[in-house]
Amino acid sequence: MAIRKRKSDLPEYGVKIRLYPTLVQQAKLRQFFGNDRFLWNQLVSLYQERYKNNKKSKLLTEFDLNNLLPALKNEYPFLKASDSSSFQIVTKNISDAWEAFFAGTRRKPRFHSKHSAKQSYTGKSSGIRIMGKRNMFLPKLRRVRSSKTGVIDGKIKRYTISVDACGRYWLSLIVEKKTAFLPKTGKAAGIDVGLTHLAILSDGRKFDKFSSDYCEKQAEIWQSKSSKRRHLALVKSQQDANRKALGAKSLSDYRNWQKANVAKNRYMSRITNQRDDYLHKISDQLVKEYDVIVIEDLKIKNMTKNHHRARSILRQSWGRFRDMLEYKCKKYGKILIKVNPAYTSRICSKCGKDTGKKPLSVREWDCPFCKAHHDRDINASINILLKGLAQL
């Protein structure tokens, strides 16, 4: 008896990225789609033939079909071009389909048409792997350009390449997660986000908000230069157009304006990178330290629209911070709870009574009922923690 590889217990997840095959690769893909369809149709007619000749004939198993593959490849050499692991998926699918048909749970397997909207094939070859940020190495195709591969984290178990009706190519993957569970600490924390701090923890710790004064200042300077220069360029190109000047420049030809744009963008992306570094450091620390993390559901929280740059950077920081906490909790086996933020700054975390609305300027207050003294933000984060624990 063959020794079967034990099915692993690691969690699996699906992920889909775009592929940008070259014309040569596209031609190969069309052939691979066709080969899988050809094999499917061959096997459908084989089953039908046997069924017609003898209704009681033994049902061909996946194993029987796999044994037929070498003979088929000899008879139809074009099949050799495909990733042969995709044929094993076809034989499995069709034997399952016929079994289901005989069990009466599914209709008879049908021939696949070349004109069906979705063209695809699935393989499980171990030859597939990531080749850098935007490249995949695929069996029988070698390097194929793709969208970002960073979303693939773990071992690829199965892949499907498809082309949709718009001619876009997709790679869908089943990925087995690496175990990355962090040791349990038995601790829980509520987190409040504020204007003065990025995060205020229920245990009283506060993490400063991210700021990059120099880069923000520079970005602002270049932004204003850019808009001034854009205005000048607009006026100038309008004048040229009116005079029907020879060699009139289009707006994008104004180098000075473009230079200001480039400088502004460079500072903006530097801010983003520094901010992400900072947020990664804090979120790593929190996920390591706590088993349960409770945050406010910002979708519910009414966030004042403010176009001031510093304010909008802060708001982006919160969003990124939450996203990081969310995927890190999932990755490291910790729990993230989102709670409705209503009343978290009104309720006294000690006695639970509603002490009314307070203006933002009030940073500390005393509970009129139990006389407890509160830091506004810490009190809110304790309330957030209590709400989360009640949900657990």
Q: What is the CA radius of gyration of the chain?
A: 31
User: Are 60 and 95 a contacting pair, CB within 8 Å?
Assistant: yes
Between 82 and 379, name the residue whose CB sits nearer to Zn ion.
379
Q: Counting contacts by CB under 5 A, is residue 221 touching Zn ion?
A: no
- Cα distance between residue 256 and residue 310, in whole Å: 27
Between 129 and 353, name the residue whose CB sits nearer to Zn ion.
353
- Cα distance between residue 90 and residue 109, in whole Å: 12
The continuous run of DSSP H or E covering 364 comes out as strand 364-366
CB of 378 to Zn ion, least distance (A): 14
Which of 36, 83, 192, 291 does the annotation list as catalytic?
192
Q: What are phi and psi of 254, to 5 degrees?
A: -80, 100
Single residue of 350, 365, 375, 389 touching Zn ion by CB under 5 A: 350
Strands (E) in 44-154, as ranges, are: 119-123, 129-130, 135-138, 142-146
User: Are 380 and 347 a contacting pair, CB within 8 Å?
Assistant: no
Binding track over 357-386 against Zn ion, x by CB under 5 A: ----------x-xx-x--------------
Between 112 and 350, name the residue whose CB sits nearer to Zn ion.
350
Single residue of 271, 348, 380, 384 touching Zn ion by CB under 5 A: 348
CB of 200 to Zn ion, least distance (A): 19
Binding track over 298-337 against Zn ion, x by CB under 5 A: ----------------------------------------
| Residue 49 exposed, middle or buried by CB count within 10 Å (0-12, 13-18, 19+) | exposed
Q: Which two tokens stand for residue 128?
A: 């597939």
User: Are 196 and 183 a contacting pair, CB within 8 Å?
Assistant: no
Instruction: Find the part of the chain contacting Zn ion (CB under 5 A) among 190-198, 301-309, 313-321, 340-348.
Output: 340-348
377 in catalytic set: yes
192 in catalytic set: yes
277 in catalytic set: no
Q: Which two tokens stand for residue 316?
A: 């982006």
Between 128 and 347, name the residue whose CB sits nearer to Zn ion.
347
How many residues are present in the chain? 392
CB of 184 to Zn ion, least distance (A): 32
* Residues between 140 and 169 with contacts to Zn ion, criterion CB under 5 A: none
Between 204 and 368, name the residue whose CB sits nearer to Zn ion.
368
Instruction: Find the part of the chain contacting Zn ion (CB under 5 A) among 83-91, 138-146, 200-208, 350-358.
Output: 350-358
CB of 379 to Zn ion, least distance (A): 9
Q: Which two tokens stand for residue 98?
A: 């016929």
Which amino acid, one-letter code, is at 25? Q
| Residue 235 exposed, middle or buried by CB count within 10 Å (0-12, 13-18, 19+) | exposed
How many residues contact Zn ion, by CB under 5 A? 7
Q: Counting contacts by CB under 5 A, is residue 351 touching Zn ion?
A: yes
Which of 36, 83, 291, 377 does the annotation list as catalytic?
377
Contact residues for Zn ion, defined by CB under 5 A: 348, 350-351, 367, 369-370, 372
Catalytic residues: 192, 296, 377
